Chains A and B, each alone.
Chain A
Amino acid sequence: EVQLVESGGGLVQPGGSLRLSCAVSGFTFSDHYMDWVRQAPGKGLEWVGRSRNRAESYSTGYAPSLRGRFTISRDDSKDSLYLQMNRLKTEDTAVYYCTRSDATGYSVYWGRGTLVTVSS
């Protein structure tokens, strides 16, 4: 059974940093593309970024509005995906979902999400 479990969310002040983790199981992590998608309270879904698979050299892509502040990485030895978020803004407040995605781009499996609150 495919499982994705996010962690690392919490309250952080504006300008601060936070690293989210996504622990996966039930599939060969290195074979798959992984995405982060977020959802602000009461709002819609927003794609954050992607980590491609080993065959694509784990290359990454980001939403243009987030490029430069957010960084995605992965550790295949730990079956884990990470999202490093720097210079956080109040508008980054959201539930952050980790997803396992098809290479073409849609998200097949989703974690339950972790809430990040940016507030002073």
Chain B
Amino acid sequence: DAKTTQPNSMESNEEEPVHLPCNHSTISGTDYIHWYRQLPSQGPEYVIHGLTSNVNNRMASLAIAEDRKSSTLILHRATLRDAAVYYCILRVGPYNTDKLIFGTGTRLQVFP
């Protein structure tokens, strides 16, 4: 199974940008990069995903390295509600038969 490597934890102050890194050196050409986050005792929440190009949505931005072996999730202004475990996941497999394999994730703490 495709694997990702993330730091165990990161810290940020409120209203500062946060860059969450992820390494996925074994990624193949058709694997999508997904980010989900999970608050305590809740199911994961979709954040963003991409294939090759950088992506932006209302929650975050995803910067993908040119060789696709790493990516960075960018929260432009962290809030206390952004404190969660962030999972970088490779979606592997053909369309409609693919699955998500979760890694250990990064626990983000946000301080007021």
Please determine whether chains A and B interact with each other in the same assembly: no
- A residues whose Cβ falls under 8 Å from a Cβ of B: none
- B residues whose Cβ falls under 8 Å from a Cβ of A: none
